[in-house]
Amino acid sequence: MTDKVLVFYGSYRSDRMGIRLADYVVAGLKAKGAEAELIDAKAVDLPLLDRMYKEYPKGTAPAAMEALAEKIRTADAFVFVAGEYNWGVQPGLKNLTDHFLEEWFWRPAAIASYSAGRFSGVRAGTAWHSILSEMGMVVISSALAVGPISQTLDEQGQPTGKAGESLDRAFGRFADDLAWWTEAARAQRARQAPPY
């Protein structure tokens, strides 16, 4: 069975470097046989959180929110491409994720962090780990950390130099770890209904 993986990206900036990593992750997952789709928070353009999806009467949520809720519900796993802003998470990606809750439950999530500097977004990645766990996802132990992103991936999302080689070496384990947990979660859901 083909794994359906949603790759979330959340920068709203005009010069978005992280899209390189998002494109790289989507391409890498597809090369490993997954059905991967990029979900760009800027393109989805949900409003600042007022009401969560579940707080709308059935059939009255905005069309973009309804469509995304269905994609999340039917996905097998998630990857969050997380930029670091002032030691924290990107507001665009956080806003998108907060619109949903039960839709995320009982599926694995992976974190690919990035920054312009040498810390590679790991502080945002650490913050996302607890956020995603609280939202009902199983966060895998493998993570990607890319920085400086401009020296790791070119404008087409292709690895460059020694940093790019390092990313390529790390990606295989990252993708295999996510695939293992995706299959484990799918098998468990088929065997026994989640407790809530």
Q: What is the pLDDT of residue 118?
A: 86
What tokens does 196 get?
């809530």
Q: What is the pLDDT of residue 169?
A: 96
pLDDT in tens, 30-70: 999 999 999 999 999 999 999 999 999 999 999 999 999 99
User: Could you say which architecture CATH assigns to the domain 4-191?
Assistant: 3-Layer(aba) Sandwich (3.40)
Annotate 140-180 with DSSP letters as a single string. EEEEEEE-SGGGTB-TTS-B-HHHHHHHHHHHHHHHHHHHH
Q: What is the pLDDT of residue 196?
A: 85
Extract the residue ranges of the chain whose pLDDT is less than 50: none
Find residue 158's DSSP bridge partners.
none
Q: In the chain, where are the structural domains located?
A: 4-191
User: What phi-psi label fits residue 161: left (phi over 0), alpha (psi between -120 and 50 degrees) or beta?
Assistant: left
Q: Give the residue ranges of DSSP H helices in the chain.
A: 19-31, 41-44, 63-74, 91-98, 122-134, 161-191
Q: What is the pLDDT of residue 49?
A: 97
Q: What is the pLDDT of residue 61?
A: 97
3-state secondary structure of 93: helix
Q: Global pTM?
A: 0.96
3-state secondary structure of 86: coil
